[in-house]
Homo-oligomer: A and B are copies of this chain.
Amino acid sequence: MASQYFSLQNLRFLLHEVFRVSELSKITRFEDYEADAIDLVLDAAKQIGDQYLYPIHREMDKNKAYFEDGQVHTLPGLNKAIQAIAEGGWINAHLDGADGGQQMPLTVMNAGLFIFYAANSNAAPYAFLTQGAANLIHQFGSAPLKDVYLDKMYSGTWQGTMALTEPQAGSSLSDLTSTAQPGPDGDYLIQGQKIYISGGDYSGVENIVHLTLARIEGAPAGTHGISLFVVPKFLVKEGRLVSNNVTTAGIYGKMGQRGYTAAHLMLGEQGPCKGYLVGAPNKGLSYMFNLMNEARIGTGNLATGTASAAFYASLQYANERPQGRHPGQKDPTSPQEIIIEHADVRRMLLFQKSVVEGSLALVIQASLWADLAENSSGEEAENAHLLLELITPIVKSYPSEQGNYAVSAGMQVLGGAGYTDDFPLEQYYRDIRVNSIYEGTTTIHGMDLLGRKLMVEKGKALKLFMGLVQQEIQAAETNDALSAICQQLASGAKGLHQTTMSLMKLASEKGPQYFLADATLYLEAFSIVTIGWLWLKQLRVAETVLAQGQLSEADLDFYRGKKLCGEYFFAYDFLKIQPLLQRLSNQDGLTVDMESSWIN
């Protein structure tokens, strides 16, 4: 039996009691997704997690992927796991029934993905990277492209990737230099190097389809000259697969996620490498951002999953390990306490729980907005879209950044044991760290939030968001048990709003460099208010259920734990908004008005 890596009860609590996701079934496309159906979906995901994913997580790390004789070697269990996910109908679950899908809401799908990611952050990403790549072809590709690629990709037979990064172009995509030379048949010859390509090569996969950014000869410089191409590892010729000269130069030795390969690819170095244009020329980056936005929620979800698995591993240890006595207990012959009885161990566990459950609420909220943006209409759809755009940098970065600290706290619960590979914490610590880098570093997302998202439609998204926070406070503050927390959140939200206004003034007075200098801190402050709002939502439900009474022992523990954890968040971590807002109000330009040579 797999150890616990997530809480099904908490996932159901969020989906049903907090977010009432089954109300999506009022939308015709989602009419099958009533509460019971959602629960079945979760059970099915857990089964795949238990059976195929969790059991190989540590093996994928200990026997890490390696590159030898031009081949990438991974474990056979990986291919079986991807196949199990595909056969469960997960890769194309969101497609229309007519296209072979299940018309699954993204909210439900991301709940399933959370389970997969918690079970195995090294294996599950392969499948959902393929999904993202296939979606681009599905959405923007020509009919012939769809014919050749979609079935193979949605069935998990062929892998998909995003091939963006180049040696000279990491965060700065406008500096991409891979080239596409128009060929005689309407296709292109691609040349260039792509680095850090996740899922870019591994054993036993039939074909790999790289959704590749490159410049068509003569295209304008910068982001407006980038086009999107399908560049397969193998071309299909007369029913047979033949090399397309996509060569793997090697894979990266990553600190974590060692089973999830990241390849260095040479395109067209050893012979002609064909690429097929997706959509219109020079529109590649805007297409890719469709996938990137999904991938950003995916990264937040991945970090949440890893933090969840780490939390349950450390909770198990804390419930089993005897060590030490309470302060004041001086009798050395008294039995040792189980360490969960120690206040500081509890604090570290509550911190982890607050990060995991706050992050998961965030992922679900974002997914719900994505469903509404695409499947409702009028103002509801428009507002959902604006809120989703606003919140995406936070969904990407809060679970990643706080997840690092949460897993570190999990390791600390185990003490010396946590630092050794006798326990999984050290792997989770290494695995989760990459999420602060994937799909744009935290800095990039701070700049995206403050420099771009807040400006859209004259700040309408921020107004909508602040309105939701106020609305939740109004709904909760009549409950005496929540009034102090409501005040705390209101004051934090007000501080954030004032800081935002003062930063806007700075932007107009001193320009973008001063304005954006501390964007990373702004992102963190915004995250604290967002997570505070999501905890208040959860607390309000928990208080209501507890007031109704008549709960089983297990349910009592669950709702009391939920209440305790929300209270923990406000008593400890919400307070951290203060120094952030204080720093942001000090617009001294400390990191702008200086010489680089002073850092020595």
Chain B residue contacts of A575, Cβ below 8 A: 578-579, 582-583
CA distance A400 to B79 in the complex (A): 41
Interface residues of A in 465-513 (CB under 8 A from B): 511-513
Inter-chain contact B327/A512, CB cutoff 8 Å: yes
**Is the C-beta of A56 less than 8 angstroms from some C-beta in chain B?**
no
CB distance from A521 to the nearest CB of B (A): 8
Question: For residue A437, which residues in chain B have a CB less than 8 angstroms away from its CB?
Answer: 412, 415-416, 418-419
Q: Which residues of B contact A426 (CB under 8 A)?
A: 254-255
Distance of A576 Cα from B592 Cα, bound (Å): 22
Q: Which residues of B contact A346 (CB under 8 A)?
A: 591, 594, 596, 599
A196:B571 contact, CB within 8 angstroms:
no
Say whether A324 contacts B253, CB under 8 Å.
no
In the assembled complex, which residues on chain B have CB atoms less than 8 Å from the CB atom of A511? 328
Known: A415-B441, A419-B434. A558 touches B315 (CB 8 A): no
- Docked Cα-Cα span, A496 to B561, in Å, equals 31
Q: How far is the CA of A512 from the CA of B343 in the complex (A)?
A: 11
- Chain B residues whose C-beta falls within 8 Å of the C-beta of A408 in the assembled complex: 404, 433
Beyond A343-B516, A419-B254, A598-B560, whether A172 also contacts B324 by CB under 8 A is yes
- Candidate in A564, A572, A599 with the most chain B CB atoms within 10 angstroms: A599
Mask, A425-449, CB within 8 Å of B = 1, is 0100110011011000111001100
Determine if A170 is an interface residue (Cβ-Cβ < 8 Å).
Answer: yes
Q: Mark A551-593, 1 if CB is under 8 A from B, else 0.
A: 0000001101100110110011001101100110010101110
Copies in the complex: 2
A168 to B: closest C-beta gap in Å: 8
With both beta carbons as reference points, the residue of chain B lying nearest to A345 in the complex is identified as B443
Q: In whole angstroms, what is the CA distance A353 to B254 when docked? A: 26
A599 to B568, CA, bound (A): 12
Asked if A344 is at the interface of the complex by the 8 Å CB criterion, the answer is yes
CB-nearest residue of chain B relative to A224?
A: B332
Which residue of B327, B340, B420 is within 8 Å of A599 (Cβ)? Answer: B340
A320 to chain B, nearest CB (A): 12
Q: Which of B170, B344, B588 is the one whose CB lies under 8 Å from A520?
A: B344
Alpha-carbon distance between A517 and B168 when the two chains are bound, in angstroms: 50
A323 to chain B, nearest CB (A): 5
Contact between chains at A446 and B598 (CB < 8 Å): no
Contact residues on A (Cβ < 8 Å of other chain), bracket: 35 or more
Task: Given A221-B332, A253-B422, A315-B599, decide whether A196 and B416 contact each other with a Cβ distance below 8 A.
Answer: yes
Q: Among the listed B328, B420, B579, B586, which residue makes an inter-chain contact with A252, where contact means beta carbons less than 8 Å apart?
A: B420
Whether the Cβ atoms of A571 and B599 lie closer than 8 Å is no
Contacts of A47 in B (CB 8 A): none
How far does the Cβ of A72 sit from chain B's closest Cβ, in whole Å? 15
Digitize A158-170: 1 where CB-to-B-CB distance is under 8 Å, 0 elsewhere: 0000000100101
Contact of A350 among B343, B513, B520, B591 (CB under 8 A): B591
Q: A336 an interface residue at 8 Å Cβ cutoff?
A: yes
Instruction: Provide the A523-564 mask, 1 if CB < 8 A to any CB of B, else 0.
Output: 000000000000000000000000000000000011011001
Q: Decide if A183 is an interface residue (CB 8 Å cutoff).
A: no
Q: With A324-B172, A341-B596 as given contacts, are A433 and B411 in contact (CB-CB < 8 Å)?
A: yes
**A573's closest neighbor in chain B, by CB?**
B579
Interface centre among A404, A421, A513, A598, by most chain B C-beta atoms within 10 angstroms, is A598
Expressed in whole angstroms, the Cα–Cα distance for A596 and B317 within the complex equals 13
- Contacting pair B255 A419 (CB below 8 A): yes
Q: Which of B223, B333, B412 contacts A442 (CB 8 A)?
A: B412
Closest B residue to A414 by CB, please name it: B437
- In the assembled complex, the Cα of A262 lies from the Cα of B67 at a distance in Å of 30
Chain A 341-382 interface 0/1 with B at a Cβ cutoff of 8 Å (1 = within): 111111101100100000000000000000000000000000
16 contacts between A and B (CB under 8 A): A9-B600, A170-B416, A221-B333, A254-B419, A340-B599, A343-B592, A344-B446, A344-B519, A344-B591, A346-B599, A412-B441, A557-B595, A560-B598, A561-B598, A571-B588, A578-B578
* Given A326-B512, A561-B600; 15 other pairs, CB 8 A cutoff: A172-B324, A174-B332, A175-B323, A175-B336, A327-B513, A327-B516, A343-B518, A344-B446, A349-B599, A416-B437, A419-B437, A557-B600, A572-B579, A575-B578, A578-B579
Closest 7 CB pairs of A and B: A222-B332, A575-B579, A253-B421, A327-B512, A561-B598, A343-B517, A255-B426
